[in-house]
């Protein structure tokens, strides 16, 4: 029995492999963080090493003080997570002020958490508050069809939400609140972290223009499923636009979106309906 036999670590590695197999993680693209439950930390603790130094994050999340996160490593490849987890992923502990991390497992040979860790951390902080503690997963990937949409649609939450809702009947049920859109920004910095976390107060997914998608959720299935559903809808949108050379003969009407919501008992964001 080792830490790689602990169920939550196995599920985390499986999600990384699933994202790689979808083609969303070229080279070192994308990152995944998971806020561990107390019993999951306890199951992993026997395998922790002497902790490293505290490293300041430049952002603060007081509601995440003392939490533990599974995280992908900076510059590490999703392709390598399953064959080489100890160098590709790790567990970090957050200090009692909620402004620094230290490595307690993995990320061997001097690796560090993803360069987007401050972004993930701020989004965790916002989503934990927005979901009464239910949110545990933040996932960033580079799905090609959604990125392609950011070149041809206005960069607004309304335009993207409507296009995606109308591209596949399941969409209004899977993300009834819609998706937010962040304009193009330099990745890895505090600015994009702040802009994304502002949107994540309202949405559980945010598009990064010409870059990718941020998703959040309570578990791996829901969060991976959200990424997968949005990208599948984007693929259908791109296919329909391409096949019709920009001309759409028919689509799901707004009253039909409302009918789906009624049938499935979800509340659609009315701002996005005509
Ligand atoms: Zn990225």
Are 179 and 96 members of one domain? no
Domain extent for 63: 1-115
pLDDT by residue for the chain (274 residues), tens digit each?
899 999 999 999 999 999 999 999 999 999 999 999 999 999 999 999 999 999 999 889 999 999 999 999 999 999 999 999 999 999 999 999 999 999 999 999 999 999 999 999 999 999 999 999 999 999 999 999 999 999 999 999 999 999 999 999 999 999 999 999 999 999 888 888 899 999 999 999 999 999 999 999 999 999 999 999 999 999 999 999 999 999 999 999 999 999 999 999 999 999 999 9
Give a yes or no: residue 123 inside a domain: no
- Catalytically annotated residue among 40, 67, 116, 231: 116
Annotate 36-72 with three-state secondary structure: CCHHHHHHHHHHCCCCCCCEECCCCCHHHCCCEEEEE
Burial 227-244 (b: 16+ CB within 10 A, else e): bbbbbbbbbbbbebbeee
User: Can 116 be counted among the known catalytic residues?
Assistant: yes
**Ligand 1 centre distance from Cα of residue 76 (Å):** 12
C-alpha of residue 233 to centroid of ligand 1, in Å: 20
Residue 91: name the closest of 47, 122, 126 by CA. Answer: 47
Q: How far is CA 242 from CA 24, 237, 259, in A?
A: 21, 8, 28
Protein residues within 5 Å, CB atom, of ion ligand 1: 212
Distance 82 CA to ligand 1 centre (A): 20
Find, among 2, 7, 1, the residue nearest to 34 by Cα.
7
State the distance from the centre of ligand 1 to the C-alpha of 35, rounded, in angstroms. 20
Considering the domain architecture, whether residues 58 and 149 belong to the same structural domain is answered as no
pLDDT of residue 58: 87
Cα 22 to Cα 12: distance, rounded to the nearest angstrom: 16
| Backbone conformation region of residue 110, classed left if phi is above 0, alpha if psi is from -120 to 50, else beta | left
Q: Where do we find the tokens 């578990």?
A: 219
Asked whether residue 33 is domain-assigned, the answer is yes
Domain contains 126: no
Query: Taking the alpha carbons of 157, 17, 69, 54 in that order, is the dihedral positive or negative?
Result: negative
Instruction: Say how many Å lie between the CA of residue 262 and the centre of ligand 1.
Output: 36
Token pair for residue 25?
A: 């993680």
162 domain-assigned: yes
Token pair for residue 107?
């990320």
Task: Give the CATH number for residue 28.
Answer: 3.40.225.10
The angle, 0 to 180 degrees and rounded to 10, between the axes of the packed helices 220-243 and 157-165 is 90
Place of tokens 């909620």: 98
pTM of the model: 0.97
């Amino acid at each position: 029995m080792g830490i790689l036999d602990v169920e939550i670590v196995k599920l985390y590695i499986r999600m990384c492999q699933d994202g790689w197999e979808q083609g969303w993680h070229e080279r070192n693209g994308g990152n995944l963080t998971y806020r561990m439950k107390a019993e999951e930390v306890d199951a992993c603790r026997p395998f922790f090493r002497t902790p490293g130094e505290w490293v300041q994050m430049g952002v603060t999340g007081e509601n995440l003080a003392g939490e533990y996160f599974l995280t992908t490593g900076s510059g590490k490849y999703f392709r390598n997570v399953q064959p080489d987890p100890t160098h590709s992923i790790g567990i970090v502990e957050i200090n009692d002020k909620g402004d620094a991390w230290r490595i307690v497992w993995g990320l061997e040979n001097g690796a560090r958490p993803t360069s987007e860790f401050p972004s993930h951390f701020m989004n965790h902080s916002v989503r934990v508050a927005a979901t009464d503690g239910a949110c545990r997963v933040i996932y960033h990937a580079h799905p090609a069809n959604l990125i392609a949409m950011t070149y041809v649609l206005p960069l607004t939450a309304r335009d993207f939400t409507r296009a995606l809702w109308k591209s596949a009947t399941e969409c209004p049920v899977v993300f009834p609140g819609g998706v937010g859109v962040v304009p193009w920004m330099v990745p890895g910095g505090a600015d994009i972290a702040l802009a994304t976390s502002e949107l994540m107060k309202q949405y559980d997914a945010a598009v990064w223009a010409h870059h990718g998608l941020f998703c959040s959720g309570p578990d791996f299935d829901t969060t991976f499923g959200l990424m997968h559903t949005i990208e599948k809808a984007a693929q259908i949108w791109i296919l329909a636009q391409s096949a019709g050379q920009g001309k759409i003969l028919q689509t799901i009407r707004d009253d039909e979106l409302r009918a789906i919501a009624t049938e499935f008992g979800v509340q659609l964001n009315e701002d996005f309906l005509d």
